[in-house]
Amino acid sequence: MPDLTVRQQQIVDFIQLRQEQEGICPSRAEIADHFGFRSRNAVNEHLRLIRQKGFIGETEGKMRALKLITPLQRHRQKVANIPIFGSIPAGFAQAKVQEAKGCVSIDIGTLGITPTPGTFALEVRGDSMIGKHIMDGDIVVLEQGVNPKSGEVVAALIDNESTLKTFLLNRGKPFLRAENPKYPDLIPAQELVIQGVFRALIRRAAG
């Protein structure tokens, strides 16, 4: 793929910026305005060359429809938007989106799963799962409504609060275990509500 000239790169950058910021592709007139061109055809000519070099897809006739093809874009995957809940109330299934405290946006390739409407995220509080290398402040992505396998990490509702535990089957009986010697070992999972199964984790550097 041949390289773009400085001007051409500037135009590609501007289109990308606008698409990210506004969610709308700029028209040729708007591009001309931004660069101070008095003729829209200057933009036209640039776009023709950029398209010829393969950095813009074909969208003949359509308006505000420039499809950028950047090197990273070729690797880019669909981005999922997962709601973050502070703590999950009992009546969870009904009113979800309204109570979201935030939103994690991450591509599904990195996430490793295709999110469903039952996918949600929690911020980890405490170090009860430090043995599984899940730290205080981590954001965990969970899947609601699936049956956990033995050894998987789950979020369970204990004392009206979501807590992460390892789910274990011991002679057919489900148990929950905290991965930290400071916490009691096995909790019968008979009447506990499993809110979600661990799927992914995101951690920010401290500080």
Binding site for a second copy (CB under 8 A): 19-25, 27, 59, 62-65, 67-68, 70-73, 75-79, 81, 83-84, 97-98, 100-107, 109-113, 130, 133-135, 139, 152-153, 198-205
* Closest C-alpha to 56, from 94, 88, 16: 16
Residue number, 64 or 203, with CB nearest to DNA: 64
* Closest C-alpha to 188, from 165, 206, 205, 204: 165
Residue number, 38 or 182, with CB nearest to DNA: 38
Q: Coil, strand or helix: which one is 67? A: coil
Q: Which does 95 bind (CB under 5 to 8 A by kind): a second copy, DNA, none?
A: none
Q: Which does 72 bind (CB under 5 to 8 A by kind): a second copy, DNA, none?
A: a second copy
Site string for DNA, 42-71 (x = CB under 7 A): x-xxxxxx---------xxxxxxxx-----
Most distant CA atoms of the chain, gap in Å: 78
Is 8 a binding residue for DNA by CB under 7 A? The answer is: yes
Smallest separation (angstroms) from a second copy to the CB of 159: 26
Q: Coil, strand or helix: which one is 186? A: strand
Is residue 78 part of the annotated active site? The answer reads no
Distances (CA, A) of 35 to 5, 64, 72, 155, 161: 15, 17, 25, 52, 54
Residue number, 24 or 188, with CB nearest to a second copy: 24
Site for DNA in 66-105 (CB under 7 A): 66
Q: Which does 87 bind (CB under 5 to 8 A by kind): DNA, a second copy, none?
A: none
- Dig out the tokens for 59 from the structure: 């969208």
CB atoms within 10 A of CB 99: 13
Residue number, 41 or 59, with CB nearest to a second copy: 59
Are 164 and 129 a contacting pair, CB within 8 Å?
yes
Q: What is the Cβ-side half-sphere exposure of residue 90, based on CA atoms within 13 angstroms?
A: 4
Q: Provide the binding-site residues for DNA, judged by CB under 7 A.
A: 5-8, 27-30, 32, 35-42, 44-49, 59-66
